[in-house]
Amino acid sequence: MPRVPLPLWLLTWTALSIAPSRLAQDASTSGAPSALDATFSFPELGLKFIPPRLDALAIGKSQAETCKGVWTARLGSSDVRLIFHVFRGPAYDNPEPEDAVEGWRSSMTNPESADPTNLLFDYSFGPIRTRSGPFGASPILAVIDAELRLKSDPSKKTWLSIAGGRIADGSWSMRIEVVPRPPAEDIAVWTRWLETCASYEGKLRDPKWTDEDATAFFKSRVPEALQKKVQKPIRTEHFIVLTDSTSSGPYVKKLETKYATVRKALPFEEVPGRQLLPILLFRTDAEFQAHYRRIYKMGPKEEVKEGGVVADHCLATSCENRDDYEDLVDLTKLLMICRLRIWGGPRWFEDGLREYVASKPKTRAETLLVVQVGQFTPIDKLLDDEAWSKRPSDLSIGDPRYEPSYWEQSAMWMEFLRDGAWPAELFPRLLTTIGGLRRGDRAGTKAALESIYGMHLPDLEERWFAFFQRRH
């Protein structure tokens, strides 16, 4: 993702250097003399944007290669900046509109960001929401809102909102920064606009993939020796299976059942126009292992313990993988990333959800018994990713240092938070809140739990312990 430009109060506009593709402006015949109506047209992309009436609209510039338009204006007592980006090429893997906005969120909240500007602010992002309509090559628009607070002076706040969509050969985003944070009625103006901001007249994407696109995807991810063995793509309701095997039927038959299992536990909206999710199904485990080693840059003799892997918006496995539990764990991860958009927070959240979906309470019976006698891991420790990497794996029950499986304890937490005596709306709210945090954000997760469930963490832990004390 490109470097994130400075908010308005830190930016010198004269230092910017790249102009937008085209800007059509018409002077208003009513209202204040400085008010302008504008159309931002990009005919080469098939896109057009018509923003609300603004005061003193002007053209800005940007040094970012992906930036195709910058406009500055006034709205009431606030300064407004609109920034339009287009992302093309392998450096920007944005198969769905959400990816075009999620990349910005990830860049801004990354504590190791290459852009030092990001470290000057605290960001509070809301969940990504979608709208259906003619917004791009995919008929889906993704929108996310945030508040920025300058760390050195938290009273200085910016309202930020980002919309994103697809074009025929890439993706686009339109970002709005308003500083200082405007009143609610002005935010409502921008929110209504962003949710219908683009009109598109270009080529539409085939959500089921063309055979040519599917074959190209397969060949781009396998060694040359396998490229000639690619079979005709196999499509189900939600997946496209790309394989070099002539015996993929047993795996394919289970896919939709597993999809339904994930969606029952972690409901999400089925949005029309979604592209089928790719499954890279190798004929043998040896082929999969070679693929895994390429992804993680491992040596040819290094051991691969996994039977599947989720990377680049794709699940890869082999026909020789007979472990339905592990496959469901991986499929849950794929849907958390590509459909629920909740791949954030600590391992307690990420791996706990995967284990909760893929296992049943009876398979966690041993962990339940240990928990019931009080030998469980405190929630504050489970939220610490470093504790996961340090947990001894060779201790047996009875050893005072023994701790039950972190995966299974975390799954029990997900069961408690979802199925306990809570209002139905709390768990979905928890998913979007923690799922939108940066990876490993322990403090943010703790704050979310306490805010959503209305009690301090030790009190919530007591309720969790009592919940499982009643189990038999």
Give the per-residue pLDDT at 341: 94
Contact 23/38 with Cβ under 8 angstroms?
yes
Long-range contacts of 108-116 (CB under 8 A, 24+ apart): 108/4, 108/146, 109/437, 109/438, 110/438, 111/438, 114/3, 115/3, 115/4
Give the per-residue pLDDT at 18: 25
Give the per-residue pLDDT at 90: 84
Domain positions in the chain are 8-200, 211-338, 347-469
CATH topology of domain 8-200: Protein Transport Mog1p; Chain A (3.40.1000)
Q: What is the pLDDT of residues 28-86, one digit of tens each?
A: 222 222 334 578 899 999 999 988 777 777 787 777 889 999 998 887 788 989 999 99
Q: Which residues contact 91 (CB under 8 A, 6 or more apart)?
A: none
DSSP state of 310: E
Write out the CATH class of domain 211-338: alpha beta
Residues (pLDDT < 50) of the chain are: 1-36
| Rounded Cα–Cα distance for residues 438 and 442 (Å) | 9
Contact 122/115 with Cβ under 8 angstroms?
no
Q: Which residue has the tokens 């805010």?
A: 451
| Rounded Cα–Cα distance for residues 215 and 223 (Å) | 13
Q: What angle do CA 139, 259, 363 make, to 5 degrees?
A: 150
Contact 414/434 with Cβ under 8 angstroms?
no
| Rounded Cα–Cα distance for residues 43 and 68 (Å) | 12
DSSP state of 363: G
What type of residue sits at position 8? L
Tokens at residue 167, please?
A: 């074009």
Q: What are the residues facing 122 on neighbouring strands?
A: 149
Judging by DSSP bridges, how do beta strands 78-88 and 67-75 pair with one another? antiparallel
Bond prior to 95 in cis (omega within 30° of 0): no
Neighbours of 438 (CB within 10 A): 17
Neighbours of 306 (CB within 10 A): 14
Contact 237/275 with Cβ under 8 angstroms?
no
Domain 8-200 shares a fold with domain 211-338: no
Tokens at residue 240, please?
A: 């496209």
Give the Å distances, CA to CA, from 119 to 144, 203, 374, 447.
20, 39, 41, 21
